[in-house]
Structure 1
Amino acid sequence: MTRYLIEIPHSEDTVECQHVIKLFVESGSHLLSHAYWGCKSGVHKSYFISEFDSREEALQTVPPFLRRHANIIELVTFNKEDIRQFAEMNQKG
């Protein structure tokens, strides 16, 4: 499985913001109810990280009315060997 960061922007309007938060918290979905929020910092987005079989599967966890603006970001880690390979590729190119 691949790990994804899901970023979902929403309106800065106080009533709409509270509505989206309430929807997530009361969704019954463990994933959605444990989202992280940037609203208190003025960044009206929710975030969560989880593993999915595909980008499309990750997108399906987002409530339908928010999918259009959701960002699904595949997360990877790099090690020293990866860095060495990048350096070699750059020297050849």
Structure 2
Amino acid sequence: MDHIVTVQDAVTAFEPWMEPTDAELDAIEAEMPVIRAEMELLDAQIVVIDRTPCELDERRIRRARRRVLAAHRDQVNGRSGQTGGAA
């Protein structure tokens, strides 16, 4: 017979000392343009998941893909706070 025991890490997973550091929060903030662009692409893909995309849907997906690429490019080039030229 197996005994059920709690795992200490799971019990203490939300201790105050386990909060993200300032450096981790800054890294997340720097990635936010990429995250937003990827969320927009995902939204566009979800819209057409159960139907055939029309021309406007295809345009929306293409624009979202360009925004993701532009956000990645800007992040690599060190311009994560600025918007890219792709629209």
Q: TM-score, normalised by structure 1?
A: 0.21
Work out which structure has the larger RCO, using CA pairs closer than 8 Å and 6 or more positions apart in sequence: 1
Q: TM-score, normalised by structure 2?
A: 0.22
Higher share in helix: 2
Higher share in strand: 1
